[in-house]
Structure 1
């Protein structure tokens, strides 16, 4: 006969039941030790023992000088999405029409699962506003004039200072400020490839980048990417050996949509490969500051010795999407890109640059990042748990180590475009897999954004998508059985 639970075990079981029932959610703060002791009529020692037990079970985490919080738990271990089989050869990109059709009018509550943006409540709007006011007062008339084509020196210096934590030291005079990361990527592509030429890209790849490539008339060779570690470098090396490729484009840190993180050893190998073939690499690091745990990932740029890496990033995913402040460190292509930047937009808006420089100088950015990473980690875990519970058997799910998107592979035959159409009609939306491929692949895949804090509205939207996915998976499975009989 087993012994009766002790008082602290009973208290721990009670709190665990509240977590399991959803009364306490990931990120919720538990009562203080003294407060809970008084509430439950137990000693402080009993509460401390209960909290230690909950920590050992992985339900609670301690935040220094803050208290005890419900820990974001990983969703049940659904298998990761399979590495895609990609057809060989270069092809034109044709995604713009599909993206336009699917995203027209997609905003508000209908778009929360489909639009990869952090919620405004997670961003330091008031602190940035104070930085903006200080910058406007300090700069005076200069704030309404054109800035230097390369960008404001104060911001470039701050980025150069931060580059030491990325595994390399980038001089301020190499950094050019752009209108978001998309302008940085646009300039990088124009510098390394012309219309009709071919670049190598990850597959799946962010549809915004594919649209950009399509607009420039550049062809792509798709390189399969693994859900956990990113681009398959053996395939890339083979492609570079067999055909002329003008450039490689990759997102080594928490790419959109897989959320994969390329290991440091693979990053070094990627630098070796492009150096061996003398092919430039466009490294998109827009999610690089959003690791869930541990140190920030090291850049591929840190292994580059020949100026072949064109490093692109922005503050749109971490600080202020509306400020449209991005940047590029283009290595040997700096002169070319500065000339193109001047011809294209003359310069970037001055005040947003100065406001972000002020925010970085104050130390506010690092404090904000700690809070943002924790929130996104908890949100990704909660969304993932809901997907695991509500989506059909046979679903596969990515396990990102940073960022805020999940890649969902539905059972074979499930039509993501049909799912999207039905979901939009019911006031929900996701990003269907075919827009993440140059030629409409990934027809049974979805990308779900976890940028919004958990709420009843999010729960209802995921429940709708899960129900529709289950219905479509069942219908498609039935049709397959009918054809086979």
Structure 2
């Protein structure tokens, strides 16, 4: 019996028990280990079973507790379609639309469903302020001197220690600190390619990354992407002759929130390594998982230094600190040279503060609470969308991260929906922002990083009503 047959057979059997009422809302499911033992399957196959059930909104995972039948399992919202972008590389960006939406950032009058970041209510601000004071006191010359080129050693050491959680084996000397993850990705692109080269990316993809790639003179080849399992590997195989660099967000990418299964990550790393194509891995959402454990990174399977792993605390702790890092593998010296040219040094006090936050365990405590909040937010959004949005609305099934991808019927243009919503003090991210092609006009991204409230629920209701009116016209 094949692994695919087992995976589907077991998932369908459990789904049938949920739908027929044998397993009821709130019931606890067997653990991954018990499922392995009972069915004679591998850990990866068992995890795929649970991932599939979560993608159907039939079960929920709770950290340190296990898997449970979802209290929202009676809500039937279909998945968005697998993206089918053109196979021709492109460099046309929706600059005006992106500029319009990002101009909303920082406007306290608006409900910012459009910006993929945590609201201040979810940040440990008091504790962070204390760490800044400690950093000024403990650093030589109160942190006024230049930091070493490679970055704060304590921060690099903590990043290396935390890599064990995702199957990494980093040393502090493998890591270079940066001004956020986007700066890390920028340095990687400049180190790896030249104007005119082609970068393979998921479709849809984060607008900031698209703009960065185009600004450096590269072309983008968007690849078909599944809303649950991420990049379609067969599409990547076909694209190999056309690409020079691959840039992926395997764990909970925005806007889909998809997570590439571990066996697919390994296959991607091996495929690119065989063809000497470097992989830039943006893992900025990796710590925001809803399940029992952090997903592995592509870097976990990198044996030749071909994966440049980038991350930061911008999405998980504090956006404004701009603390990021990269483990560039065999490209380390190239990145150090570029960092010296473009920024010389990183902010000593801020990096020391974040390093202490990680070292004392405060970061992990914060993450445990934050993951529960985000998972609850996701469930609240599902319920509100099912209740208030037009019939036939499709949504993604993120297993972590900060985003939900919403797909309407073809007659709803989300650029026009944005114009209507902004009059109600609501900002959304139209789907056309997330591609260089003419697609996703009927889609949008919603951020779940806002503290849930009756006001947020009301704004979703308003948004749904606007979409209903558009669908009728």
TM-score by length of structure 2 reads: 0.84
Does residue 257 of the first structure (1) align with residue 294 of the second (2)? no
Residue 146 (str. 1) matches residue 146 (str. 2): yes
Residue 390 of structure 2 corresponds to 392
Structure 1 residues 58 and 347, CA gap change in structure 2 (3 angstroms)? closer
Determine if the alignment matches structure 1 residue 203 to structure 2 residue 230.
Answer: no
**Alignment deviations for residues 142-181 of structure 1 (CA, whole Å, 9 cap, x no partner):** 5011101110111111111111111021121120000011
In structure 2, what is the equivalent of residue 94 of structure 1? 93
Q: Specify whether residues 233 and 63 from structure 1 end up closer, same or farther in structure 2 by C-alpha distance, changes over 3 A only.
A: closer
Q: Flag the 1:73–1:394 CA change in 2: closer, same or farther, 3 A.
A: closer
Aligned position for 1:6: none
In 2, Cα distance between equivalents of 1:152 and 1:58: 42
Q: CA deviation at 1:93?
A: 3.4
8 A contact 1:72–1:382 mirrored in 2: no
Match of 1:375 among 354, 373, 376: 373
Q: For the Cα contact (< 8 Å) 1:72–1:377, is it kept in 2?
A: no
Pair 1:178–1:339, CA change in 2 (3 A): same
Question: What aligned pairs does 1:173-184 form with structure 2 within 5 A after superposition?
Answer: 173-184=173-184
Which 5+ residue runs of structure 1 have no aligned equivalent? 1-19, 21-56, 65-70, 476-485
Aligned partner of residue 91 in structure 1, secondary structure: coil
| 1:472 positional shift | 1.1
The structure-2 alpha-carbon separation of the partners of 1:170 and 1:421, relative to structure 1 and needing over 3 Å to count, comes to same
Residues in 2 aligned to 1:353 and 1:93: alpha-carbon distance in whole angstroms: 36
Q: How far did 1:186 drift? A: 0.6
Displacement after TM superposition at 1:133 (Å)? 1.2
Q: Name 1:457's counterpart in structure 2.
A: 455
Q: Please give the residue correspondences for 1:117-136 in structure 2 after superposition, counting only pairs within 5 Å.
A: 117-136=117-136
Q: Which moved more, 1:74-83 or 1:331-340?
A: 74-83
Q: Deviations over 1:423-452 (max 9, x none)?
A: 012211110000000124200000001111
Q: Where does 1:21-60 land on structure 2 (aligned, <5 Å)?
A: none
User: Where in structure 1 do 4 or more consecutive aligned residues deviate above 4 Å?
Assistant: 61-64, 71-75
Q: Does 1:466 align with 2:464?
A: yes
Structure 1 CA distance, aligned partners of 2:193 and 2:278? Answer: 10
Distance 1:75 1:273 in 2: 41
| Contact 2:377–2:448 (CA under 8 A) maintained in structure 1 | yes
Q: Which runs of 5+ in 2 are unaligned?
A: 1-24, 26-57
Aligned CA distance change for structure 1 residues 358 and 201 (closer, same or farther; 3 Å): same
**3-state SS in 1 of match to 2:304:** coil
2:57 matched to 1:77?
A: no
Q: Does 1:434 align with 2:437?
A: no
Name 1:343's counterpart in structure 2: 341
Q: 3-state DSSP class of the match of 1:452?
A: coil
CA contact (8 A) 1:193 1:199 kept: no
Offset of 1:58 from its aligned partner? 9.1
Quick check: 2:85–2:437 contact (8 Å CA) kept in 1?
no
User: Could you report, residue by residue, the CA deviation over 1:333-366 in whole angstroms, capped at 9, with x for unpaired residues?
Assistant: 1100111011101111000110111111111111
User: 1:82, 1:461 → 2: CA distance?
Assistant: 26
Q: Is the 8 A contact 2:63 2:291 kept in 1?
A: no
1:292 equivalenced with 2:293 (yes/no): no
- Closer, same or farther: CA 74–169 of 1 in aligned 2, 3 Å: farther
- Measured after TM superposition, the shift of residue 63 of structure 1 is 8.9
1:334 and 1:111 mapped to 2: Cα distance?
41
Contact between 2:64 and 2:292, CA under 8 Å: does it hold in 1? Answer: no
Q: Given that residues 390 and 463 in structure 1 are in contact (C-alpha distance below 8 angstroms), is that contact kept between their aligned partners in structure 2?
A: yes
**Which has the higher Rg, Structure 1 or Structure 2?**
1
Deviation at 1:216, TM superposition (A): 1.0
Deviations 1:168-219 (A, max 9, x none): 2112112000001110011111111211211101000011111111211210
2:405 maps to 1:407: yes
RMSD between superposed Cα atoms in Å: 2.1
Alpha-carbon separation, structure 2, partners of 1:376 and 1:114: 16
In the other structure, the counterpart of 1:163 is 163
Residues 451 and 72 of structure 1: CA distance in aligned 2, closer, same or farther (over 3 Å):
farther
**Native 8 Å contact 1:202 1:222 kept in 2:** yes
Instruction: Give the structure 1 partner of residue 41 of structure 2.
Output: none
Displacement of 1:77 after TM fit?
A: 2.9
C-alpha deviations, 1:119-144, integer Å up to 9, x for none? 22212111122121111111141501
